[in-house]
Structure 1
């Protein structure tokens, strides 16, 4: 008769699973094998606490995403590796969540200092309680809007955000030492990437850009979402600086069927990621948005199936659009899927050809990511394709 695995066994099994998929620094591995994630998730089945999945800890009524959750452990490991916290560091975390990530940070900095802030009083109290219970009472927990940071314990050697950030607040700049590291899930043109940045004077420069997904921070409203049909089962998400005529797009989807298909020369395998197409497109094209299509819309055949229905890149201009598609073809057993674009509207095929150009550019160097240089909006932008936001300018170059 098999015995039920213990928390220690489950924790080590999870870490082994993560190590099987990605490289993790020895100190991060040690912290993840030490800190009991289950202690930060009371009421959750033990085995569920040690699966590589996010766990909601507080719902957000009327909203599609929770108010707070425990992040996917492999993403936690990835971001801690990007941060590179060292013994003695003074670290600020934006988004306390369960307190688990702050506990890992406390293990990494040793006699250093960890401050974590959260806007929600219940979440902050939960983090304080669990950190105390697990012996991490030296972590400072502050109930506050994370956009305001925590000047009382500044300056910080490292800052990490565990919520999706659309713009980088000046408060974070002002409290990060020169040479310090900032890791955050940065949102632009409908996507989210965990970006690791190092401060050099009035510039933040990237050396790591990884795909991720996070609940957005409260208080930044630069992203817009608009339905493209009466039932809101087809939606477009875009940034405030983008001109999107949602009424014209809705009319186009209603009256222009079926989609025109424009294939690219790029094929992918069944387990091969092609999210880099989106990233590549944003480094030179301000028409990139996100298309969301629900299962209901697909069942009703309201639209040709996007590559990833819940979140696919789409080029939008006037009353026309073109979005990423993936089609199975049996020609190449190693890479049986062809990437392409579905076009709607009078200029849809031109947009589709432009999207195919982005696909082919990605296909020629699939693992290459752009260099990101961020400057405060008040100081002007660095060289490269610039995305302007109220508090920061983001320059992307390949």
Structure 2
């Protein structure tokens, strides 16, 4: 694919597919049809630039995840829809990446708007600057800096968007966002990541919606922990405030398996990640379970999704989500349930089944998240389930 017309056709075909699955605001759709993603991915076949896939642009020699990615285009579109940027807005982006997202933002806010993008990696910032210059977006400001500090020199911002995963909300971001302004951030809690759309109301941020997503974590936040079990073939991903003790769980998977089944069922293409979200609204024991092929081969019960299933962990016991097929229900053949290990397996499995059936009764419900500064008095918080982070306090509720 070398001709300009063929590349344009591929770009429009990708946008057609995205819009068919999720209608977009006219400004976002036009920007995606205008900005050449292939120009931000030099060295990649243009045909591959217009598939709905992420592209690694900087490897991480110290870990399994890359340091920087060109995000999946449909996720880019979803987050821009959440952001709802308007002509003339001042926008801050955390995570410059290829510069592609900043170019889209520049198209949306127009000549009277301003876009600032920040990245901690020097070569990533240079790549973004060069790509933006080459594609006609010299007006975008690119800053090499720790994104957790924001960019106070161009504040306040009407809109802020992060293209890296955040475990906590820095005070600097809240301070640099205009009152009434919108922040969209891939937020991490209890092992999951959701793109949360937030609006600033004084010192608080209140959510307008949440969407499932996955992003490389930002450098500089370390509130997440990993407990390796069964010689490293099973991993529990949890938050620092959760009492997960690897030593207590060391023999859990060598004991008897307990299974319980919920009433809830799902169809072949029906998402059920909302169970995880709902559980975190009331339960502090929710973690992410990762079970490798080696553990499955050794006889561990297969989770619903081996790499990222919700699990409840208390002391020396745990329970996680499973499923099995029941052909007697062709519309929703997959029945959901819980597998438990350890002395309290039955009670934890029963608790997880209750979360599953609560979701099954109200599948489209999305909680509200309110984020307060970390020094806020607990008796002044809104009613709901409280999760304390380092610099902020979350309250979740329906």
TM-score bin (small chain) = over 0.9
User: In the alignment, which residue of structure 1 is the partner of 2:137?
Assistant: 136
1:362 corresponds in structure 2 to 359
Q: Which residue of 2 aligns with 1:347?
A: 344
2:241 counterpart of 1:241: yes
Partner of 1:372: 369
Q: Does 1:296 align with 2:290?
A: no
The aligned counterpart of 1:284 is: 282
Answer yes or no: is the 8 Å Cα contact 1:375–1:382 preserved in 2. no
TM-score, structure 2 normalization: 0.97
Deviation at 1:73, TM superposition (A): 0.3
Following the alignment from structure 1 to structure 2, what is the Cα–Cα distance between the partners of residues 371 and 347? 31
Structure 1 residue aligned with 2:89: 89
Q: Report what 1:229 is aligned to.
A: 230
Counterpart of 1:109? 109
Secondary structure of 1:6's partner?
helix
Q: For each residue in 1:181-204, what CA deviation from the matched residue of structure 2 results, as whole angstroms up to 9, or x when unmatched?
A: 000000000000000000111211
Deviation at 1:5, TM superposition (A): 6.8
Q: Which residue in 1 is equivalent to 2:262?
A: 264
The C-alpha deviation readout for 1:128-169, integer Å capped at 9, x for no partner, is 000000000100000000001001111111110000000000
Compute the displacement of 1:299 (Å): 2.6
Q: Distance in 1 between matches of 2:382 and 2:67?
A: 35
TM-score by structure 1 length?
0.97
Partners of 1:141 and 1:375 in 2: how far apart? 29
CA offset at residue 229 of structure 1?
1.6
What does 1:113-128 align with in structure 2 at a 5 Å threshold?
113-128=114-129
Separation of aligned partners in 1, 2:81 and 2:199: 14
Q: CA separation in 1, counterparts of 2:385 and 2:19?
A: 36
Q: Which residue of 2 aligns with 1:192?
A: 193
- Cα deviation, 1:30-59, whole Å, max 9, x if unaligned, reads 000000000001111111100001000011
Superimposed CA distance per residue, residues 263-311 of structure 1 (whole angstroms, 9 cap, x where no aligned partner): 000000010000000000000000000001112222332x100001010
Give the Å deviation of 1:383: 2.1
Superposed structure 1 runs of 4+ greater than 3 Å apart: none
Task: List aligned pairs for 1:1-398, cutoff 5 A.
Answer: 6-110=6-110, 111-230=112-231, 232-253=232-253, 255-257=254-256, 259-301=257-299, 303-380=300-377, 381-398=381-398
Unaligned runs of 5+ in 1: none
Q: In structure 1, what is the Cα distance between the partners aligned to 2:94 and 2:9?
A: 30
1:379 CA drift (Å): 2.1
Summarize the Cα distance change of 1:5–1:250 in structure 2 as closer, same or farther, 3 Å threshold.
farther
Q: Secondary structure at the match of 1:20?
A: helix
Question: What is the SS of the residue equivalent to 1:61?
Answer: coil
What is the number of residues matched between the two proteins? 392
Structure 1: distance between partners of 2:106 and 2:193: 26
Q: Give the Å deviation of 1:370.
A: 0.3
- Could you tell me how far 1:233 is from its partner in structure 2? 1.6
